[in-house]
């Protein structure tokens, strides 16, 4: 009899410049059964990671210090990788080129995060 293989957890990239929020997101994702592939606090870090690794979804803070998230969102769109914006500014703060993407309004809770992930990935985690 072969050992049962655990299903692979979806890999999530977190792009967030506030360390507390990045840690909170990682904790929530792990609790929901996802794997945090990486956490990036700068545009260059996120782009470098995506050049080397594949993820199933990304969570993108709209503003990273004085940088806008647009280059990362554009790259993910080119890669046909789903992503969700996380922002305190609501839909008005997201890049115009990605106006139809999902938005999680900060502050959000684990239930909100789970619903957004399910909508994008079509998965239900327990």
Residue 73: pLDDT above 60?
Answer: yes
Residue 4: pLDDT above 90?
Answer: no
- Least confident range from 6-10, 38-42, 58-62, 113-117: namely 6-10
Question: Domain residues of the chain, as ranges?
Answer: 11-121
Residue 69: the pLDDT is 96
- b or e along 85-98 (b: 16 or more beta carbons within 10 Å of the residue's beta carbon)? bbbeeeeeebbeeb
With cut-offs at 50, 70 and 90, classify the pLDDT of residue 122: confident
What is the SS3 assignment for 112? helix
Q: What is the pLDDT of residues 77-87, one digit of tens each?
A: 999 999 999 99
What is the SS3 assignment for 123? coil
Cα torsion 48, 51, 57, 61: sign: positive
Q: What is the pLDDT of residues 87-103, one digit of tens each?
A: 998 888 899 999 999 99
Within 10 angstroms of residue 123's Cβ, the number of other Cβ atoms is 16
Please state the CATH superfamily assignment of the domain spanning residues 11-121 in this structure.
Response regulator (3.40.50.2300)
The share of the chain scoring above pLDDT 90, in percent, equals 84
Task: Round to the nearest angstrom and report the end-to-end CA distance of the chain.
Answer: 27
CA distance 32 to 105: 19
């Amino acid at each position: 009899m072969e050992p049962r293989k655990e299903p692979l957890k979806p890999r999530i990239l977190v792009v967030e410049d506030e360390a507390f929020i990045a840690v909170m997101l990682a904790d929530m994702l792990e609790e929901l059964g996802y794997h945090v592939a990486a956490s990036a606090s700068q545009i260059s870090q996120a782009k470098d990671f995506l050049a080397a690794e594949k993820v199933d979804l990304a969570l993108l803070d709209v503003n990273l210090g004085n940088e806008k998230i647009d280059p990362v969102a554009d790259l993910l769109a080119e890669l046909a990788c789903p992503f969700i914006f996380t922002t305190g500014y609501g839909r008005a703060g997201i890049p115009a080129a990605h106006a139809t993407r999902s938005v999680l309004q900060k502050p959000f809770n684990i239930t909100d995060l789970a619903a957004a992930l399910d909508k994008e990935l079509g998965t239900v985690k327990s």
